[in-house]
Chains A and B, each alone.
Chain A
Amino acid sequence: MRNTFVIAGKEFSDLVRSNVMVVALAVYCMLLLYEYYDSYNVINNNLLQFGVVGPVDDPAISPGSLVSVLCGYGGLVAVVLGLSSMYYEVSNRAINTLMVKPVYRDVILNGKLLGAVFFAFCIFVFTVLVNISLNFVFWGEHFSRAFPAFLGRLPVVLVSYMLVFMMFYLLTVLMFLLFHRSSLAFFLAFIAWIFLYEVVPSGFSPSLASFFPNSEQMGWVISCLSPKGMLSLIFDRAADGVGAFSANILEFFKLMLYVGALLISCYIVFLRRDVS
């Protein structure tokens, strides 16, 4: 167990020291700021024109901006981090050094994953803090009253984000372990991300569904199999706290299934293949 934490600590410090983190955090801030500015303008226009906020969720407690930034761009950050962590280990021969030490291979993988999870959690905390600051800046007193409700929704956001992050991180690690080429691993993981986030939920699911009988329902089922579809279902009917988990148990189960399948594949490939 101690070895796992040592490797996790090293992985975490590598990720924190990486330049990628600076880029990722800067883009998170920019995207959040833009989302807030945009929604603030829309809601203000509605207030001026119609005297109502409009058919939108309470802006101060809605996790919409947070989810779209964390799970959308966060998936891509996971791809880049997964690739860079494996690439440097292999190209610097650090992984060879690690493998000749008296540690099991699964301990190496566990350590790396644990380090990535800690790192993802730190990104989450940072983004939530920025989000809270922006909420106070844009909504002021209104947000102070809605703050407990906002906090109640954070566990759902955290679990969704961690699952999406781990899914794309594991996918990239798996691709690298399978093909040993950084360009191919990055391309495949990036394609998987764009497929699951953009292509399938938008225009491609009706085309794919036309191969099946009852194609209209099938199109909906296919789009619900993508993480974006699952997230939109989760946050369309998101209540707070435990209620949100019980209402969306199937969606969380599907996301966990993806992560579990990728995790098992990573273990199998890492234990059985030559990674040097």
Chain B
Amino acid sequence: MRAIIVAGYEFRSTMRNPLVLVSIILLLAISVISAYGFTLNAFSSNQGQGTSLLSVFMTSLGGNAYEISSIFLILSVCLGVFSIVEERHGGTLGVLISKPVYRRDVILGKFIGLSGFLLMAISLVLAIRVSTALILHPMPAWSFTEIFARIASLGASLFLYCVVMLGISMMVGVLFKNIALAIALSATIVYVEWFTPLLAPLNILNPKILYLHYLWGRHDNNFIFSVSSPYLAWLSSVFPYFILLAAEAIIVLLIDCVLFSREEA
């Protein structure tokens, strides 16, 4: 219960952070530009070949998914690491843990509050994406449930991925009291995880690989917005990755709780 109070406070303070406004504007701009660009490019590259409206619609929904994910990744990491180190440096973390709340409630509340914000941001970006696609061309004659299920699956997996990275960056914030070191390590984790194959031996645990396998299939041949495979067929082939991501999110949260309970007041 107390975790929910902390979560509410964290959510409200995150919403007041100027970082949120900047990131949302940026993400919305990229979403609109991507949807528009992918639609135009899909039409022009298929001229005279009987372009399927459905495939153009799905392309404009899924275009630049990788780039948008990378921006959400940075947003999660920044929110996670600064939610701990800035409060510790400003002295508010000390005040919070001297109150009659369990430390696990503090970290759980922060995690839930930030996750709530990420869920809201992801939903907003995806809603804008769908709206832009619908403005650019009419709804294709395809099951609405099928389209909605795919968009919801993309949102759910992106949310889980962001939550795992949020937990990892909070862990860095808890472990390292030096703000510069915590920031450097978070940036290094993002770089190594997202841009290098250094973690290849741990691919089965690497959240990025799990997330990409979920979106594109294990051999990059089963994209979430591909019209060639039905939704349930796609889902059955990628569901294990979703479960692994969810398990990682829970494990990271538990580790955060254990580490933070050793925090000195």
Contact = CB atoms under 8 A, between A and B. Distances in A.
A198 B64 CA distance: 12
B199 to A, nearest CB: 10
A80 interface: yes
A72 B179 CA distance: 23
B64 A204 contact: yes
Nearest to A34: B198
A131 interface: no
Nearest to B60: A207
A144 interface: no
B112 to A, nearest CB: 20
B185 A182 contact: no
B180 A88 contact: yes
A64 B64 CA distance: 27
Nearest to B79: A183
B142 interface: no
Contacts of A24: 184
Given A187-B22, A187-B78, A208-B33, A19 B67 contact: no
A209 B37 contact: yes
Contacts of A38: 197
Given A23-B185, A187-B23, A199-B70, A84 B179 contact: yes
Interface stretch (A55-63, A188-196, A253-261): A188-196
Interface in B22-48: 22-23, 26, 30, 33-34, 36-38, 40-41
A210 B38 CA distance: 8
Interface in A10-26: 18-20, 23-24
B255 interface: no
Nearest to B33: A207
Given A76-B187, A182-B86, A194-B71, A23 B181 contact: yes
A136 interface: no
A87 interface: yes
B36 A210 contact: yes
Interface in B68-104: 70-71, 74-75, 78, 82, 86, 89
Contacts of A209: 37
Contacts of B67: 198-199, 202-204
A101 to B, nearest CB: 25
B37 A207 contact: yes
A187 B187 contact: no
Interface in B143-181: 178-181
A18 B40 CA distance: 49
A72 B191 CA distance: 9
A206 interface: yes
Interface string A204-230: 101111110001000000000000000
A211 B70 contact: no
Contacts of B253: none
B162 to A, nearest CB: 14
B184 A20 contact: yes
B102 to A, nearest CB: 26
B181 A191 contact: no
A146 interface: no
Contact of B74 (A20, A80, A84, A191): A191
A110 B158 CA distance: 43
B228 interface: no
Contacts of B183: 80, 83-84, 186
Contacts of B185: 23
A31 B196 contact: yes
Nearest to B185: A23
Contacts of A184: 17-19, 22
Contacts of A23: 181, 184-185, 188
Nearest to B34: A207
Contacts of B26: 191
B33 A20 contact: no
B57 to A, nearest CB: 16
Given A73-B191, A207-B33, A30 B179 contact: no
Contacts of B75: 187
B63 interface: yes
A194 B26 CA distance: 13
Given A183-B78, A190-B187, A19 B37 contact: no
20 contacts: A19-B178, A19-B180, A20-B180, A72-B191, A76-B191, A181-B18, A181-B19, A182-B179, A183-B19, A184-B17, A186-B78, A187-B19, A190-B78, A191-B74, A203-B63, A204-B33, A207-B36, A207-B37, A207-B41, A211-B33
Interface of B: 17-19, 22-23, 26, 30, 33-34, 36-38, 40-41, 63-64, 66-67, 70-71, 74-75, 78, 82, 86, 89, 178-181, 183-185, 187-188, 190-192, 195-198
Given A77-B184, A190-B78, A203-B63, 14 more contacts: A20-B181, A27-B192, A76-B188, A76-B191, A80-B184, A84-B183, A182-B82, A182-B86, A183-B86, A190-B74, A198-B67, A198-B195, A204-B33, A206-B37
